[in-house]
Structure 1
Amino acid sequence: MADGAPVPAAEPAFLGVTRSLSGRVWRQRPAEAATIRAHMQALELEEPLARALAARGVRADQGADFLAPTLKALFPDPSSFMDMDAAAVAILDAIQAGASVHVFADYDVDGASSAALLVRWFRALGVDLPIYVPDRITEGYGPSPRAFDTLKAAGADLVITVDCGAAANEAVAHASAIGLKVVVIDHHMMREHPPVCAAVVNPNRPGCNSGQGNLAAAGVVFVLLAALNREGRARNLFADRPEPDIRQWLDLAAMGAICDVTGLTGFNRALTSLGLKVMSDWRNPGLKALLAAAGAEEGPAKSNHAGFILGPRINAGGRIGKSDLGARLLSTDDPAEAAALARELDALNIARREVERDVTDQAQRRVEATGAHDDGSAVVVIAGDDWHPGVVGIVAGRLRERWRKPVVVIGVDAVNGIGKGSGRSQPGMNLGRAVQAAWETGVLIAGGGHAMAAGLTVRADAIDALRDFLNDRMIGEQAGADAMDRVELDALIEPGAASRALFEQFERLAPFGPANPEPLFALHGVQVRDAVAMNGGHVRCRLVGADGASVKAIAWRCADLPGGRALLAGQGGLSVAGRLKADDWNGRRGVQFEIEDIADPRMG
């Protein structure tokens, strides 16, 4: 048994791992035996898959809808969203009056997808919908009085904000003062009192009873399109034109859901699962062109396409390039324009990776030289002059993975002494709430977010005060978060059983994301062979079982960590936790074991 704190008898450590080489305890995901049996019988599943389904909170009566979700079974009544009917009325009133409607979108994938959904619906009615996306550096996040002034000067009568606006009370009040109508479509946490405007549709709005709080903005917009179609039918709007078939745009709803890391359960799971099927046809010119620019082959779309191939390239425009490139790419029907935009975004993504790598290296070295990552503090706050604000969130996420505690990374403009920062948190530690409190007490110029991520603006001379404030505020949550920081496993397998058949069996649970984690398997007593350190600190190797059967494996960004050192030393007798990934290189249909954690029973 690995060394560590005693484990309660009611919750035994899986394989006896109470402290892995990353300091975590291993558990098997809990599942009720009756529910496992019900899934096995009703769905004709083998025990490991039925257990995984039950362990994800899927009740016996929900199994069929989970494995084969449909819009018919899961689509919510649009009217259950507060202000949804008012939003549909305001938008169709404007269209029928010939008013000029513009969409104001956030600069990330969810914002771009949301804007493209609306642009395509408007286009189906023969109406142009101009897109406005604020510049991340010069304008910051969300609506501002300056932006509304610009839209008013451009002739806008109604502005629909998507993936932003729900907390922009002052900016929306300015819009009203200059004669602009505003409809807000958002999903972020918001103040108790919403902006005063034509409609504020947000499933996370206090008092909204839709029960759809896990939707990304693109999902909320997709429901809005259904509400617009319903209102249009009531107005006989489709007497001389086809009613827009919103199902053809499910791929955009899936992009928003996956890239905004939303909980993939219920209706949101249906949107994502069916959206990936629509995406698989690669009919959207922008997605098709971006896939080609990335050098990837067309075929069945998976979450990986959205989250790791398409999404980062779309985000690159907002991070270090032109903020509206992603929305333009997803909304164009011109293959030539799509190809040009895709090439530009791919080039920006290459540049973004280089900037991100530099900032990550600098931040990591600076923190580890001082020991701030390992001094018992609740939060790591690190700042650097001229670190690009477009990558600080990614860097914070990388370092949070490495140190397993909340990290805030701040890029300071050396000229004006103002820092723009972003933070990523651990489960059980509400970083957004702490950042909001720091703003309310005057430590920050601006700040907010949600439990797992936050953004902020701070004076350079207040960064030390911010560090102290966040640590004082969050230290009480640290013990609980440490207890939650465990590796939850679905099944123990042998290296020889890590097959394509097993991978495809568990793929029935896809798409994966929050609330539906990717299956995690354990190998026990394996020998490491042919270990090689790769560029980027990755380690590639083979894991060999007692019977001599093996599986190819890779561990990311760990060569200088205890787990990576154990792999490179070629140790035997290790327990290894990881995920099965498809390996289709050169036409092979194999698997690779992507290592999440390693335990050595002989090491304390």
Structure 2
Amino acid sequence: MTATAQKAENNRLFAVDRSATGRFWTLADADEALVRRLAPAVGGSDLLARLLAERGVTPERADAYLAPTLRESFPNPSSFADMDKAAEVVFDAILKKRRVTVFADYDVDGGTSSAILARYFRAWGQDLGLYVPDRLEEGYGPSPEAFRHLKETGSDLVITVDCGAAAISALEEAEQIGLDVVVIDHHLMSGHNPPTLALVNPNRPDDTSGQGHLAAAGVVFVFVAALNRLARQRGIAPPEGLPDIMAQLDLAALGTLCDMAPLHGVNRAFVRQGLAMLSHGQNEGLRALAEVSGIQKVETVYHATFMLGPRLNAGGRVGDPWIAAKLLATDDRAEAIALAEQLHGLNEERKAVEASILDQAIMQAEKALEKTPDRGVLIASGEGWHPGVIGIVAGRLKDRFHLPSIVIGWGKGLGPVAKGSGRSVPGVNIGDAIAAAAREGVILSGGGHAMAGGLSLEPTQLSAFDDWMVAHMAQFTAERAAALELAIDAILAPGAATPELVDRVAEIGPFGAGAPEPVFALQSVQISYARQVGANHWKFTAEDASGRLDCIAWRAVGAPLGEALQPGNRVHLAGRLKADEWNGRRRVQLDVMDAASA
């Protein structure tokens, strides 16, 4: 047994070896000396000090972690390779009134990045053109055809955001046809830098900024800061003064959260200060989207990530990929409402498409595991499965079965070949696996990073690809076993789950990637007042001698978790606390992640 496995065994909680979702539970282990040293930073609270210690926060970093500011954490733009060069090119283009187009990815990070630039250009009295590729027809990122189209329609300069760093053939074509290109990206790169006027990417091999954790929206925010700095150096400003880039912090925060960028360093400041701005609703597009989403105010990471995010992504998944970028950039109230309603409708369509594919994918996964219980990867596929939702479905499969999962779709109107999207568990690099399959000719192309990947293949290659992936993933047995661990931060009695406790825990937020929201366990509680809400959610009350707590298990109906939460059952619960306000009364709810028989 490895040291890590032995530690997990020693920390086993409530003797839960196999929960309703197939996991084992452990109680997080914190250095007691570190907890005591952190306590003064959180008003003497042992719980908050313990949560900080479990997240690797030291007393020296506690103040910056708890109260992140841009003043303390904002990077020097010049520390990024090519940042100063890019600023010179774009600022000169603004002054010379060249025709500039932003080429944006079709997700939230791309949309927020393009909107930050559009608003910056508008402050200088300039219109910024927009181009967003169609997911089905064009795929991800710039293509030679797209660049030729932009050149033919009069663009002098193209700024790619959230894409472009790996678009070698497209950038070589741009050089051939005399189209100037500046790339602003954050994706991993390999090999030589492609031909551009400037390539700003904290993850390019020769960049020494140390800001590789930034989302594209964060890199673009630093870029507009570099533009303002250059304008001050030259003594030039528009009539109303330099653009107020701080007014775009809401967009930087939204892109950071929806791209799941780790909340370290300046990302924490982006999100902390950006959420405050989001709550004021000063961006017309975001205010309209919040209204059609049924949110009075965007105040939390949940609102931004799980309410606004899916709606902004819906256009790129199942509709017009340009809508989100237009919405985020507009100052016209009527246009904002119309665009927000379109996105809301497309999101409803996306959910229906996703639900249908997910049901079929789960059946395929269950049959595959019944046939081969020890297989280390799940692959589900179907004709007519929309490429815009297969990534979401892959994530749902991964969460349900705790295995790397790949979902593949093809068919008329869905592109020339089958497209696949994969999601993985910690320790199993699915991007490397897909890239290796491509190198060996098992599929047409593919790659990605540790936790997610994409691929293209002919439907006739499916069987061979499944066999190849099962054989390749057989080596990761220890990593797959570790992925079944559910780490609990603290044990809580139902009666202790108060709004005041939720407020105190929020003091160490914001929570997100790299700064996980605390998971609490309730020991031996009884289920009562259970009922289904919505399509497949399960709402109930957990009771013990200390009191009662409202609970909800999302998408649990018809799943093992829902079966474990029947009225009268006595169970251990694991989940995250949420505060909600209804009719002027604040209450607390546990969002249930897992359950085990008590």
Q: TM-score, normalised by structure 1?
A: 0.95
Q: Are residues 1:104 and 2:121 paired?
A: no
SS in 2 for 1:177: helix
Give the whole-Å Cα distance in 1 for the aligned partners of 2:233 and 2:370.
Answer: 62
Q: Which residue of 2 aligns with 1:384?
A: 382
Structure 2 equivalent of residue 509 of structure 1: 508
CA contact (8 A) 1:525 1:575 kept: yes
Whole-Å Cα distance in 2 between the matches of residues 373 and 524 of structure 1? 36
| Secondary structure of 2:280's aligned partner | coil
How far does residue 366 in structure 1 lie from its aligned partner after superposition? 2.9
Alignment of structure 1 residues 149-164 onto 2, 5 Å = 149-164=148-163
* 1:465-496 alpha-carbon deviations (Å, 9 max, x no partner): 22222222232223223214311111111110
Alignment of 1:312-391 (within 5 A): 312-371=310-369, 375-391=373-389
1:8 positional shift: 4.6
Residue 588 in 1 paired to residue 555 in 2? no
How far 1:33 moved relative to its partner? 2.0
1-structure distance, mates of 2:22, 2:572: 14
Report Cα offsets for 1:111-165 as digits up to 9, x if no partner. 0000000001111111111110001111111000010011101211111100001
Aligned to 1:138: 137
Distance 1:154 1:576, change over 3 A: same
Provide the residue aligned with 1:176 in structure 2.
175
Write the distance in 2 (CA, Å) between the matches of 1:282 and 1:6: 48
**Alpha-carbon distance change, 195 to 143 in structure 1, aligned in 2, over 3 angstroms:** same
Instruction: Name the amino acid aligned to 2:545.
Output: A
CA contact (8 A) 2:402 2:483 kept: no
Which secondary structure state, in structure 1, belongs to the residue aligned with residue 187 of structure 2? coil
Distance in 1 separating the partners of 2:495 and 2:370: 42
Alignment partners' CA distance in 1, 2:353 and 2:89 = 43
- In the alignment, structure 1 segments of 5+ residues that lack a partner are none
Q: Which residue of 2 aligns with 1:52?
A: 51
* Structure 1 contact 417–459 (Cα < 8 Å) conserved: no
**Structure 1 position 260, deviation (Å):** 0.7
State the partner residue of 1:252: 251
- Taking a change above 3 Å as real, the CA distance of residues 8 and 346 of structure 1, as seen in their structure-2 partners, is closer
3-state DSSP class of the match of 1:427? coil
**SS of residue matched to 2:232:** helix
Provide the rounded CA distance (Å) in 2 between the counterparts of 1:414 and 1:228: 45
Residues 210-258 of structure 1 show CA distances to partners (whole Å, capped at 9, x for unaligned) of: 1111111000100111111111212222275411121110000011111
Quick one: structure 1 residues 283 and 215, their matched pair in 2 at CA, closer, same or farther if it must change by over 3 Å? Answer: same
Structure 1 residues 453, 9: CA separation in 2 closer, same or farther (over 3 Å shift)?
A: closer
Structure 1's 255 and 545: CA in aligned 2 closer, same or farther, altered over 3 A? same
Q: CA separation of 1:367/1:17 partners in 2, compared to 1, >3 Å: closer, same or farther?
A: closer
CA distance in structure 1 between the partners assigned to 2:535 and 2:239 by the alignment: 58
Q: Which amino acid aligns with 1:329?
A: L
Partner of 1:186: 185
The more displaced of 500-509 and 232-241 is 232-241
Letter in 1 for 2:375: S
1:141-290 to 2 correspondences below 5 Å: 141-238=140-237, 240-290=239-289
Letter in 2 for 1:595: V
CA contact (8 A) 2:550 2:589 kept: yes
Could you say what secondary structure the match of 2:474 adopts?
A: helix
Conservation of the 8 A alpha-carbon contact between 2:368 and 2:378: no
The 5 Å alignment of 1:540-559 reads: 540-547=539-546, 549-559=547-557
Q: In structure 2, what residue type is equivalent to 1:341?
A: L
CA-based RMSD: 1.9
User: For 2:25, what is the secondary structure of its paired residue?
Assistant: strand
Question: Structure 1 residues 7 and 19, CA, compared in 2 at 3 Å: closer, same or farther?
Answer: farther
Structure 2 residue runs of 5 or longer lacking an equivalent are none
Deviations 1:164-207 (CA, angstroms, capped at 9, x unpaired): 01111111110111101111111111222221211111111112
The answer on whether the counterparts of 2:172 and 2:194 sit within 8 Å (CA) in structure 1 is yes
Query: What is the distance in 2 between the residues matched to 1:9 and 1:290?
Result: 44
Distance 1:69 1:431 in 2: 33
Partners of 2:63 and 2:103 lie apart in 1 by 39
Amino acid at match of 1:325: I
- 1:547-579 Cα deviation digits (max 9, x unpaired): 4x110111122233333212115212x221111
Please give the secondary structure, in 1, of the residue aligned with 2:486. strand
User: How big is the shift at 1:506?
Assistant: 0.4
* Separation of aligned partners in 2, 1:228 and 1:440: 41
Does the C-alpha gap of structure 1 residues 103 and 6 become closer, same or farther in structure 2, counting only changes over 3 Å?
A: closer
SS at match of 1:38: helix
CA distance in 1, matches of 2:380, 2:32: 47
1:113–1:252 contact (8 Å) kept in structure 2:
yes
Aligned counterpart, 1:598: 595
The number of aligned residues is 594
**Residues 516, 223 of structure 1: CA spacing in aligned structure 2 closer, same or farther, 3 A cutoff?**
same
